[in-house]
């Protein structure tokens, strides 16, 4: 969780913009807010600095209904900052952290966190870029597997966070993909993770790495889902299904992927699907889940910011029903 300083000018870069506005951000925190905005219980686990920015972040996500009991303040450390500009609707990032309080989440701090079969543990690859936070994530994932919690991994790669070779980054991401029950990627991350530049072929190739349900977001083209047979059942090949997206006015793409995966996780919670229940969901069930996520993302990109752009359940349902405002329409 960090501060997004968002450019006040449209269609500019971080270097060129004359000014910024302060917004709460950070992909896993955005997902926690997305889940809460959609009416489900969520808690954020992470660290902030002992500074005004840390106080602002804690108050902000609490205001969206996120449980902040596991937000830890690290004395004498600063909250990480991200400067974000919108260039052609896509975000341009510059990160300021050395090391940043967020990377100081340790295994000792996460010992008290409760996980069970009704829990979904969600994280992204940026939490693997430094220690001790990588060790904390590894600890939580191992516990989640023991407790039969759903493990959700969004690659959400930001190379600027990593001081490592590409092969090392790839190894860390593939290691966590093995542990995931739900794996979310965008098109570029899918190609990078699989080593293939065709969506369908890349999804099939990625099934050699993970048994997860793979959700690949494709921007305005919607998403692709790859479903696999349960472990030990090799009778059928993995199934790839495309899910249509929504035509929307792209003002700011920041947080769109977070809105999508957050909406999918919120629906799993609403339906009471636990890890054992994932294998009972049909291809059509997953298509409905991902369609819901695409609708949430389509709303998010029409608004500036990330957390504040996350939609409510009523707003997503309006898009699905075709009764949303003109800036988001069904395809």
Confirm if 190 and 206 have CB atoms less than 8 A apart: yes
Minimal CA–CA distance to 31: which of 139, 140, 153? 153
Residue 89 is predicted with a pLDDT of: 63
Spatial neighbors of 258 by CB under 8 A, at least 6 apart, are 27, 30, 31, 34, 154, 156, 300, 306, 310
Which single residue is written with the structure tokens 């709460």? 24
Averaged confidence pLDDT in the chain: 93
Domain boundaries, the chain: 2-330
Residue 331, pLDDT above cutoff 50: no
Q: What is the pLDDT of residues 78-95, one digit of tens each?
A: 999 999 887 776 778 898
What CATH number belongs to 2-330? 3.40.1190.20
Angle of helix 166-179 relative to helix 133-146, nearest 10 degrees, comes to: 20
CA–CA dist 45, 61 (Å, integer)? 12
Q: What is the pLDDT of residues 305-319, one digit of tens each?
A: 899 999 999 999 999
Going from the C-alpha of 111 to that of each of 105, 133, 135, 136, 247, the distances in angstroms are 11, 13, 12, 9, 44
Angle of helix 166-179 relative to helix 187-194, nearest 10 degrees, comes to: 100
Residue 201 is predicted with a pLDDT of: 97
Return the CA Rg of the chain.
19
Question: Which pair of tokens denotes residue 99?
Answer: 């090391």
Q: What is the pLDDT of residues 256-270, one digit of tens each?
A: 999 999 999 999 999
- Spacing of C-alpha 270 from chain mean position: 18
CA–CA dist 229, 23 (Å, integer)? 42
Q: What is the pLDDT of residues 233-258, one digit of tens each?
A: 555 789 999 999 998 998 888 899 99
Question: Which pair of tokens denotes residue 108?
Answer: 């000792």
Q: What is the pLDDT of residues 35-62, one digit of tens each?
A: 999 999 999 999 999 999 999 999 999 9
DSSP E strands: which ranges in the chain? 2-7, 20-25, 46-49, 71-74, 81-87, 90-96, 120-124, 150-154, 182-186, 213-217, 223-227, 239-243, 246-248, 328-330
Q: What is the pLDDT of residues 102-141, one digit of tens each?
A: 999 999 999 999 999 999 999 999 999 999 999 999 999 9
31 by Cβ neighbours in 10 Å (0-12 / 13-18 / 19+) ranks as buried
0.85 surpassed by pTM: yes
| Helix (H), strand (E), coil (C) string for 215-284 | EEECHHHCEEEEECCCCCCCCCCCEEEEECCEEECCCCCCCHHHHHHHHHHHHHHHHCCCHHHHCCCCHH
Confirm if 38 and 289 have CB atoms less than 8 A apart: no
Q: pLDDT band for position 161 (50/70/90)? A: confident
């Amino acid at each position: 969780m960090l501060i997004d300083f968002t450019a006040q000018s449209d269609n500019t870069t971080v270097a060129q913009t004359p000014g910024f506005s302060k917004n709460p951000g950070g992909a896993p925190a955005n997902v926690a807010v997305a889940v809460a905005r959609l009416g489900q219980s969520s808690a954020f686990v992470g660290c902030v600095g002992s500074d005004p920015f840390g106080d602002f972040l804690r108050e902000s996500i609490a205001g969206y209904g996120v449980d902040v009991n596991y937000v830890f303040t690290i004395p004498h450390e600063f909250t990480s900052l991200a400067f974000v500009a919108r260039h052609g609707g896509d975000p341009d990032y510059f990160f300021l952290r050395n090391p940043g309080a967020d990377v100081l989440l340790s295994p000792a701090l996460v010992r008290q966190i409760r996980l069970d079969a009704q829990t979904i543990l969600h994280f992204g690859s940026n939490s693997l870029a430094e220690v001790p936070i990588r060790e904390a994530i590894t600890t939580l994932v191992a516990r989640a597997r023991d407790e039969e919690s759903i493990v959700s991994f969004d690659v959400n790669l930001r190379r600027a966070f990593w001081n490592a070779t590409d092969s090392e980054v790839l190894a860390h991401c593939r290691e966590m993909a093995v542990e995931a029950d739900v794996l979310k990627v965008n098109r570029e991350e899918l190609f990078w993770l699989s080593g293939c530049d065709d969506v369908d072929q890349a999804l099939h190739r990625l099934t050699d790495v993970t048994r997860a349900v793979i959700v690949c977001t494709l921007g305005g083209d919607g998403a692709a889902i790859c479903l696999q047979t349960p472990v030990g059942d090799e009778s059928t090949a993995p199934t790839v299904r495309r899910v249509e997206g929504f035509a929307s006015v792209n003002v700011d793409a920041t947080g769109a992927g977070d809105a999508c995966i957050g909406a999918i996780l919120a629906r799993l919670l609403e339906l009471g699907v636990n890890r054992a229940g994932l294998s009972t969901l049909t291809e059509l069930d997953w298509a409905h889940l991902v369609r819901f996520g695409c609708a949430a993302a389509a709303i998010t990109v029409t608004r500036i910011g990330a957390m504040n752009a996350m939609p409510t359940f009523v707003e997503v349902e309006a898009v699905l029903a075709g009764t949303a405002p003109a800036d988001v329409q069904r395809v």
